[in-house]
Amino acid sequence: MSAPEHLVFVTGKLARARLEKVAAGLPADRFAWTIADAGVKVAALMTEEIIRRRVRIPEGATRIVLPGRCRANPEALAAHFGVPVERGPDEIVDLPAHLGLAGRTVDLSRHDLRIFSEIVDASKMSPGEILAKGLDLAARGADVIDLGGLPDTAFPHLEESVRLLKGAGLRVSVDSFSLDELTRGARAGADYLLSLNEETLDLAFETDAVPVLVPMRPDDVPSLDRAIERMRRAGRPFLADPILEPIHFGFTDSVARYRDLRARHPDIEMMMGTGNLTELTEADSLGVTALLLGICSELDIRSVLIVQVSNHTRRTVEEHDAARRVMYAAKADAALPKGYGRALLALHDKRPFVQTPDEIAALAAEVRDPNYRIAVAEDGIHVYNRDIHKVGTDAMAFFPDLNVASDGAHAFYLGAELAKAETAWRLGKRYVQDEPLRWGAAADEEAEDATAFKKAGHTKHSGPGGPPPGTRDAARISPEAGAGPPETVGPEQARTESAGLAEAPAEGQARIVCGKLVPAGSA
């Protein structure tokens, strides 16, 4: 049996007790561990320089794990210590999963499903507008831009639109009931034609565009089989789509048709159009999409046609992109689609509360300044500073206890944070003070430089005479103010309680205000 990997967890005073508790539960046959307490209160504010100077790595260490919110550069630290350095999870409770103890290594970089994203009203748009829309859809995750024709609506700029999209390096399909439009699109260079049936199939032999075959009617499966056989005999590429129908209009039978078609033709390429479910069901589309792509994964359907017309499906490209990656990874692992990240969780989180009420109370007992911290646990919203620790479920009900009636900027900040905290508590989402809530694939996440500090906003320390908003860069203020001596301890020395670890900031030193480091003298 190989020796266990020796991990070094770098942390600060406030997080050390919680880290010790989690580390103590790691399997000893896989991990030996050491905690390197740099002596600063807040680990997230450690810089590369602080870590280089204050952290000592024990002999035999094989990997260093930084706090997830630490703004240091792991590559630079790895070069300094001569040991691999990585950024761990934002929350300590997620450390076991980060170390692979969930039973798998999550890789969402791969998929095997092609997204056709339809521009529904392309015939009513100018070529320039079509190009801009196509580029936007591709940036969101679409692989093929589908130009949707409309009945009784001329599309005189079809050829120009196809050429523009192709010139931009995009793959293009033309989707029309008009054989003339399909022919023109193919001659202009379209890669795919949607959709041909056994009566219009001759067009497939007049062009290099790959046809998507459909039945004459959704329930006329034999007509689709005949079209498939003709293409197979000719040795020509194609996709087959038995047509997914809306709920109460044949949905269950249509799902069965996909299953039966795959059973009859185990090696053909298939497509599913998901819009009849996502668009025509007034339900959050992310869950609907996850279910449909689970069916695609089981049946080896490697193309989907998606559409976004309704406002509630405005993120359908991103949702399909996230779902195809999760399903691919789960299938590769022969596993349930669980534990593959939070992209498919919009309204709720699997582990929303990262601290218990007792853990928050212990932290609150260590606070020695008047600045408010906000946290969320199963029992509600916690607001605390050196003077109070209040727990509730109504953001507005905290106002009388906060003593900010004469401080508009601070009251505005606290109101916004508490409303966000209440939303998180009611939905069962993770809340982190000064960070946006995360909505999975349902909303973009703000890109950030993980090696740079955020600039402090103006809250309680704003007002006449204060610096202009956004000019107080936390990276310029030493997080070592009031730092204690660094300490490196192993499991046998680790303490299980945080009492005594935190120290009150000395007079005239930098401190935390509303989750941000601010200079001394700020009111």
3-class SS letters over 327-338: HHHHHHCCCCCC
Residue 520 in this model has a pLDDT that exceeds 60: no
Outline which parts of the chain fall under CATH 3.40.50: 5-99
Query: Encoding tokens for residue 514?
Result: 């509303």
pLDDT band at residue 480 using 50, 70 and 90 as cut-offs: low
pLDDT band at residue 144 using 50, 70 and 90 as cut-offs: very high
| Dihedral pair phi/psi, residue 276, rounded to 5° | -65, -15
pLDDT band at residue 489 using 50, 70 and 90 as cut-offs: confident
The most confident of 74-88, 149-163, 262-276, 491-505, by mean pLDDT: 262-276
Rounded mean pLDDT, 249-264: 97
Question: For residue 43, what is the DSSP state?
Answer: G
Residue with tokens 């009566």: 199
Cα distances (angstroms) measured from residue 87 to each of 77, 175, 356, 432, 457: 11, 46, 24, 18, 25
Question: For residue 2, what is the DSSP state?
Answer: P
Tally the C-alpha atoms within 13 A of residue 111's C-alpha that lie toward its C-beta.
24
Outline which parts of the chain fall under CATH 3.20.20.20: 114-333
Tell me which H or E stretch contains 164: helix 158-167
Q: Helices in 279-351 by DSSP H: which ranges?
A: 285-299, 316-332
The residues that bridge with 306 in the sheet, in sequence order, are: 117
The rounded distance, in Å, linking the Cα atoms of 257 and 229 is 17
pLDDT at 1: 59
pLDDT digits (tens, 9 = 90+) for 185-227: 999 999 999 999 999 999 999 999 999 999 999 999 999 999 9
Residue 512 in this model has a pLDDT that exceeds 90: no
Residue 493 in this model has a pLDDT that exceeds 90: no
pLDDT digits (tens, 9 = 90+) for 442-455: 999 877 666 655 55
- Strands, E assignment, 103-207: 114-119, 144-148, 171-175, 192-196
The rounded distance, in Å, linking the Cα atoms of 436 and 419 is 12
pLDDT at 488: 79
Residues of the chain above pLDDT 90, percent: 65
Task: Give every CB contact of residue 317 below 8 A, 6+ residues apart in sequence.
Answer: 115, 117, 137, 140, 141, 142, 306, 308
The rounded distance, in Å, linking the Cα atoms of 30 and 65 is 16
Q: 489: helix, coil or strand?
A: strand
pLDDT at 474: 35
The answer to whether 431 touches 420, Cβ cutoff 8 Å, is yes
pLDDT at 476: 39
| Dihedral pair phi/psi, residue 145, rounded to 5° | -95, 120
Residue with tokens 């001569």: 82
Cα distances (angstroms) measured from residue 315 to each of 119, 125, 285: 14, 21, 8
Position with higher pLDDT, 471 vs 120 = 120
pLDDT digits (tens, 9 = 90+) for 339-362: 888 999 999 998 899 899 999 999
pLDDT band at residue 504 using 50, 70 and 90 as cut-offs: very low
State the DSSP string of 422-484.
HHHHHHT----TTSPPP-GGGSPPPP--TTSPPEE--STT-STTSPPTT-EEGGGS-TTTT--
Residue 464 in this model has a pLDDT that exceeds 60: no
Least confident of 246-255, 332-341, 483-492: 483-492
The rounded distance, in Å, linking the Cα atoms of 17 and 3 is 26
Q: Does domain 114-333 have CATH number 3.20.20.20?
A: yes
The rounded distance, in Å, linking the Cα atoms of 191 and 182 is 11
Least confident of 34-43, 155-164, 370-379, 381-390: 34-43
Q: Mean pLDDT for the chain? A: 87
The rounded distance, in Å, linking the Cα atoms of 183 and 203 is 7
Query: Encoding tokens for residue 63?
Result: 């990997």
Residue 462 in this model has a pLDDT that exceeds 90: no
The rounded distance, in Å, linking the Cα atoms of 93 and 19 is 8
pLDDT band at residue 456 using 50, 70 and 90 as cut-offs: low
pLDDT digits (tens, 9 = 90+) for 64-111: 999 888 888 999 999 999 999 999 988 888 888 888 886 667 889 999
Task: Tally Cβ neighbours within 10 Å of residue 403.
Answer: 15
User: What is 5-99's CATH number?
Assistant: 3.40.50
Rounded mean pLDDT, 140-153: 92
The rounded distance, in Å, linking the Cα atoms of 370 and 386 is 6
